[in-house]
Structure 1
């Protein structure tokens, strides 16, 4: 068992963050539980400890991360397993990705980094900085530790402490912008918009999302789009593959919390919305924050065909607006404070303007700043495509 009581430790006697006595190690199953207990102080929100542990174990069993999740600990070298003092901890998730360059599209592996945590009683010694520095080196060496087909070519993280901290270790900040729209009651949703005629959006359940957004035709089309983009502009382009498993992970999180926090409602079966004529679809999830003001309905990803005429552009934008309006109604029904989607294209900006001409793009500087690091000695300056909420970890 882990010695959870570290009251015997002399904080002043612990090594500093730059000490050679510190080492980054993978956690044992028991240490994983202990690290979750420690970071619960920051991330459990309205949940009690047992429920928070249950949620993390539930997410750990999801197909997206079940065989590719690693917990890393910063500890003092030489301490025995399951007796080690956890100074700081984080998680890495293996992800399927693609690299497109000069018309070639190559399947590759990547990693997501999350849950970076340093114990409050040990802060000020440089432990978080040391852990991230060691992890950056680990990401680089994974290229040579595994066979070529499995090596991790890049990693992503979402910083809640601004753009500078992780940049010093190679995680470059990328565009991190979003629109935020208010929820709409049923009467507000049904009210016509002056001068704008919108089609009717249909709601999507999980299987609809799978068939509309993750089918073989969509995959081939999107890989073809990556190939075309890489032919038209120089430089490498990368993307996290938007697999159905990503959506299921987000939904597992919302369903677990809805069962605890919204016992007054039926399970959240509606997972997105679409408009068949224009072939525009999106998947969403409900994110329950620590306060009602933090509750957010996130659009995880958009799927649509690039318009080839002015008429198609207008029709696609109107379909997007109808879908967004339906998302606003869903947000109202679930007591979400806002609807949010990341890194909008000009077409999405046009759709938002139909609903709210005063809406402005918000550029995030401190929270959920998307960052990417190319692994290895070769430091590629890559373009990150499909930088949407689905890839968040």
Structure 2
């Protein structure tokens, strides 16, 4: 249940406020509260069902924590939720000083304070508490008992979260309109879920990432981190689109084409469909690209042409699912050249308000230096 607003709300700096994991019923209460902002085209009960569906996915079923800021004097399951958020446990790679290791980290999402409680300092207090709690949360069995970084994606600009240490990183994107024509599907190969696992999540691909980060760490002193692009991330994103398709589009089956590739060129991408409240909110997001860096001008042209063909295939898929556009984050110079082949007028957009990729680095306290590079800052990392 959602507790009624108390007659005298505590101050944001009150020593009686604590940040704690929500009970099962309090988690539902927090979802009902934030549904005002995030349920989109779903009704509240379907939105709760969506959140429960996502909770059962491999990425989150053992690693998602719903946090609530409450008064310590109130009883469990009857506490007034002053502010809430979620943390998602993730695995990352860390490269430094010619070494590389797997480390545990967290993504932060669903940061919410109900409108009538805003301006009282509750969100600020929650994030102050959260930033330190996540340094050791769930780290008991890890080799490193303190995490090195956490990430979040701000929809309120770059300044608010920066005061708690989540520094804004590169947050650019390019987009192409959905299109019904322009490519024979035979030019590229459609990827189904098992194909994405084989092409984007193979041992070879992960070994290449490992080696590239290792070499880079030998050439510069700054630490490099990358959230591991394992198959669990894709399954979580696809669970969202499949839930929407099943609950909103009764006339067709859930989508099964999860990306596209060119085997000859060795270029692949995985995508998912975002179903929004308005037609323009329907977006086909490319989650991640995989390709070998060209070693000659001829190889570069082959790679760019393959990328362009895959982008045209994505435009077709977007059109078939009534998406408004195709969008992809932080495109490399090669991808920007491919976009120019498809649409010379497309521009690189630097986001200033929405989905600002932010990272809180605490590695300096553990002897890893002040600077950190965020590798693979692509849409698959979003939470």
Q: TM-score normalised by the shorter chain: which range applies?
A: over 0.9
Q: Give yes or no for contact 2:3–2:80 (8 Å, CA) kept in 1.
A: no
**Structure 1 regions of 5+ residues with no counterpart?**
191-197
Aligned equivalents of 2:303, 2:189: Cα separation in 1: 15
Distance 1:271 1:141, change over 3 A: closer
- Native 8 Å contact 1:37 1:49 kept in 2: yes
Structure 2 residue aligned with 1:195 = none
Whether the aligned pair in 2 keeps the contact of 1:353 and 1:359 (CA below 8 Å) is yes
Shift of residue 142 of structure 1? Answer: 4.2
1:111 to 99, 106, 115: 106
Structure 2 contact 3–81 (Cα < 8 Å) conserved: no
Q: How far apart, in 1, do the equivalents of 2:263 and 2:183 lie?
A: 20
Q: Does 1:391 align with 2:350?
A: no
Q: 2:156 aligns with which of 156, 161, 169?
A: 161
TM-score scaled by length of structure 1: 0.93
2:120 maps to what in 1?
125
Aligned equivalents of 1:115, 1:288: Cα separation in 2: 18
SS at match of 2:70: strand
Alignment equivalent of 1:302, drawn from 289, 293, 303: 289
Query: Structure 2: how far apart are the matches of 1:71 and 1:361?
Result: 35
Deviation per residue, 1:7-40 (Å, 9 max, x gap): 5x22xx2112122221111111111111111111
Distance change (3 Å), C-alpha of 1:53 and 1:321: same
State the superposition RMSD in angstroms. Answer: 1.7
Of 11, 16, 31 in structure 1, the residue corresponding to residue 26 of structure 2 is 31
Cα distance change, pair 145–20 in 1 and its aligned pair in 2 (3 A)? farther
Q: CA contact under 8 A between 1:139 and 1:375: conserved in structure 2?
A: no
CA displacement, residues 71-93 of structure 1 (integer Å, 9 cap, x when unaligned): 11101122111111100000001
Deviations 1:194-230 (A, max 9, x none): xxxx991111000011111111111111211111222
Conserved in 1, the CA contact under 8 Å of 2:66 and 2:84? yes
Pick which of 289-298 and 213-222 moved more. 213-222
Question: CA 1:147/1:298 → structure 2, altered by over 3 Å: closer, same or farther?
Answer: closer
Look up the match of 2:91.
96
CA distance in 2, matches of 1:173, 1:269: 34
Query: Which residue number corresponds to residue 6 of structure 1?
Result: 4
Aligned pairs for 1:308-387 (under 5 A) are 308-375=295-362, 377-378=365-366, 380-387=370-377
- Who is 2:13 aligned against? 18
Match for residue 171 of structure 1?
166
**Aligned residues of 2:139 and 2:145 also touching (Cα < 8 A):** no
Contact 2:136 2:145 in 1 (8 A): no
Compute the displacement of 1:147 (Å): 4.7
The 1:252/1:143 distance shift into structure 2, 3 A limit, reads closer
How high is the TM-score relative to the length of structure 2?
A: 0.96
Query: Which residues in structure 2 correspond to 1:61-100 (within 5 Å)?
Result: 61-100=56-95
3-state SS of paired residue (1:230): helix
Seen in structure 2, the aligned counterparts of structure 1 residues 70 and 290 have a Cα distance that, compared at 3 Å, is same
* 1:290 alignment partner in structure 2: 277
